[in-house]
Amino acid sequence: MVHPDTGESDPRRWRALAVTLTAGFMSLLDVSIVNVALPSIQRGLGASASGVQWVVSGYALTFGLVLVSGGRLGDALGRRRMFLFALSAFVLTSALAGAAVNESMLVSARLSQGVAAGLLTPQNSGLIQELFRGAERGRAFGAFGTTVSLSTAVGPVLGGAIIALFGAENGWRWVFFVNVPIGVLAFVLALRLLPAAPRRSGTLRSQLDVVGVVLLGAAVLGLLFPLVRWGQGGFGAVSALWWMPLVAVAFAVAFVVWERRLVRRDGSPLLDVRLFTETPGFATGAAIGTVYFAGFAGIWLVFALFFQQGLGYTPLESGLVVTPFALGAAVSATVAGRLVARLGRLLTLAGLCLVAVGLAAVAVISPLTPPATTGFAVALPLLVAGLGGGMVISPNTTLTLECVPTRMAGVAGGALQTGQRIGTAIGVAVLASVFHAGVGSDGGYPEGLRWAMASAVALVVLALVLAVVDARRRPRRAPHQSRRVSAHTPFE
């Protein structure tokens, strides 16, 4: 751990980061890897179509529900303790999911696995804030961005490979079982490498805002649940849920009022709303992340539908088609992490432009090429988009969190990632609906892909506009100055 006064760095920090990112990779990978296993699950368990959809959507829902609470618990109890607890829960629930004997057991295990992942994920960004300073923090967030990009993009490839290796009937079980040995190894290494937090004064009850947890949970649920249902079944699936977003807004307003009241009384809020109003760059950076994930995360479902249903590719072939995006993102995220201290928001601007250009090229090229060569034709545009994507996630995370006090690093990271989960749900719902509408037209699957990519480009351009606004407002300082700035944050 970095000493708050001397700034001395823990010599084990890079090895500790590798361990936490391995666990983070597993939790994020499970958002996308299960998609290709759904037919295998239906065959192996005789599960219903709605049941297997909840295997995917239930995980995403509970994941998003607990991110802020998980971050706050890490701030209050210590990130090492929360990391070990959440990792243990994730390994256990992964084993239960793989051993499921019926649909209900599998869905229950996935819901629980999502909770464990939501508690685990904020500890990554919190530990980076604690363990690293200056330009090193940008490099660490570069590694984090690589993890996010790779976990999202390679999920279909790994899922398809596991199904091919273990067979269509039981291969889905190993999609979950693979987490167990990796998680156990990560747990053992984390025990040795993660720094213990100093003992904090006060009881957990005095530091945990239970009312805030309930209010924020209700608000996020009211927003995420209709989006998840929309992604599952289109507009018809959410027609009876029109009231939930209204209730979500009411709970969100009540949450803000309650948190402000706690601050005035010197209490311990779940999420100090001054993070959004008084922390330079946090609100805009969170908005950029939310909108970008809406355009970025939804394309993977569309690609899977287009290549598998439209062109007859196998799950593995479909996953391999999008591999250039993953490779480009992995390389550029690492490089961007080293450059963010010098170039700042310019990296995000350049990255968003590349993503928009790459996805627009896919929209133009794919309907014009024969099905047998479409996968090769879109490889270069996807590589360009991936290079841009890696320049968005890690620099934006670094810049968004640079002025956040270290003692609030966990809850701030949780809030940032909650926005990304909401953006993901919006993107999946919108792009899938646009794709299906296009497929239903005379143009068929190529037309569906074209309109879905056009929608993704529009969302990326919106994120670009927000990034331009932030670049114009941002003081001309490099991220390595954040320690001095955060020391003067009004609520530090």
Task: Choose one of 266, 296, 315: the last residue of a domain.
Answer: 266
Which pair of tokens denotes residue 156? 């279909």
CA–CA distance, 208 with 411 (Å, rounded to integer): 12
249 plus 369 within the same structural domain: no
238 plus 334 within the same structural domain: no
Residue 460 has a pLDDT of 96
Question: Scanning the structure block, which residue is given the tokens 């006060």?
Answer: 202
Residue 112 has a pLDDT of 95
> Which residues have C-beta within 8 Å of that of residue 199, sequence separation ≥ 6?
none
What are residue 396's phi and psi, to 5 degrees?
Answer: -65, -40
279 plus 247 within the same structural domain: no
190 plus 231 within the same structural domain: no
Task: Choose one of 228, 249, 266: the last residue of a domain.
Answer: 266
103 plus 245 within the same structural domain: no
469 plus 352 within the same structural domain: yes
pTM of the shown model? 0.83
- Cβ atoms of 433 and 294 within 8 Å: the answer is no
256 plus 276 within the same structural domain: no
CA–CA distance, 72 with 78 (Å, rounded to integer): 10
In a domain, residue 451? The reply is: yes
69 plus 163 within the same structural domain: yes
Q: Which of 254, 375, 368, 355 is nearest to 295 (CA)?
A: 355
In a domain, residue 8? The reply is: no
In a domain, residue 87? The reply is: yes
What are residue 113's phi and psi, to 5 degrees?
Answer: -65, -35
Residue type, position 43, single letter:
R
In a domain, residue 492? The reply is: no
258 plus 277 within the same structural domain: no
Domain count across the chain: 2
- Cβ atoms of 413 and 126 within 8 Å: the answer is yes
Residue 449 has a pLDDT of 93
In a domain, residue 199? The reply is: no
Tell me how long the chain is: 492
- Give the pLDDT of the chain (492 residues) as one tens digit per residue: 444 433 456 678 888 888 888 888 888 788 777 877 777 888 888 878 777 778 877 888 888 888 888 888 888 888 889 999 999 999 999 999 999 999 899 999 999 999 999 999 888 878 888 888 877 888 888 888 778 777 766 777 788 788 888 887 888 899 899 899 999 999 999 998 888 766 565 566 666 788 888 998 899 888 888 887 776 666 666 777 788 889 999 999 999 999 889 888 877 888 888 888 888 889 999 999 999 999 988 888 888 889 888 888 877 788 788 889 888 988 898 888 888 888 889 999 999 999 999 999 999 998 888 888 998 999 999 999 999 998 998 889 888 888 888 778 788 888 888 888 888 888 888 888 889 888 887 778 889 999 999 999 999 999 999 999 998 887 654 444 444 444 445 455
Three-state DSSP string of the chain: CCCCCCCCCCCCHHHHHHHHHHHHHHHHHHHHHHHHHHHHHHHHHCCCHHHHHHHHHHHHHHHHHCHHHHHHHHHHHCHHHHHHHHHHHHHHHHHHHHCCCCHHHHHHHHHHHHHHHHHHHHHHHHHHHHHCCHHHHHHHHHHHHHHHHHHHHHHHHHHHHHHHHHCCCCHHHHHHHCHHHHHHHHHHHHHHHCCCCCCCCCCHHHHCCHHHHHHHHHHHHHHHHHHHHHHHHCHHHCHHHCHHHHHHHHHHHHHHHHHHHHHHCCCCCCCCCHHHHCCCCHHHHHHHHHHHHHHHCCHHHHHHHHHHHHCCCCHHHHHHHCHHHHHHHHHHHHHHHHHHHHHCHHHHHHHHHHHHHHHHHHHHHHHHCCHHHHHHHCHHHHHHHHHHHHHHHHHHHHHHHCCCCHHHHHHHHHHHHHHHHHHHHHHHHHHHHHHHHHHCCCCHHHHHHHHHHHHHHHHHHHHHHHHHHHHHHCCCCCHHHHHHHHCCCCCC
Residue 200 has a pLDDT of 61
Residue 236 has a pLDDT of 66
187 plus 330 within the same structural domain: yes
CA–CA distance, 255 with 324 (Å, rounded to integer): 42
Question: Scanning the structure block, which residue is given the tokens 């807004």?
Answer: 249
- Cβ atoms of 436 and 282 within 8 Å: the answer is no
In a domain, residue 408? The reply is: yes
Residue 153 has a pLDDT of 65
- Cβ atoms of 365 and 381 within 8 Å: the answer is yes
> Which residues have C-beta within 8 Å of that of residue 179, sequence separation ≥ 6?
26, 30, 90, 91, 94
- Cβ atoms of 341 and 134 within 8 Å: the answer is yes
Domain CATH code at residue 133: 1.20.1250.20
87 plus 119 within the same structural domain: yes
- Cβ atoms of 123 and 82 within 8 Å: the answer is yes
- Cβ atoms of 20 and 140 within 8 Å: the answer is no
- Cβ atoms of 364 and 372 within 8 Å: the answer is no
Specify burial of residue 257 (Cβ count, 10 A radius: 0-12, 13-18, 19+): exposed
84 plus 30 within the same structural domain: yes
In a domain, residue 21? The reply is: yes
Provide the residue range defining the domain that includes 380: 13-194+270-486
Residue 132 has a pLDDT of 84
> Which residues have C-beta within 8 Å of that of residue 54, sequence separation ≥ 6?
107, 110
Question: Scanning the structure block, which residue is given the tokens 């759904």?
Answer: 38
In a domain, residue 200? The reply is: no
CA–CA distance, 109 with 289 (Å, rounded to integer): 29
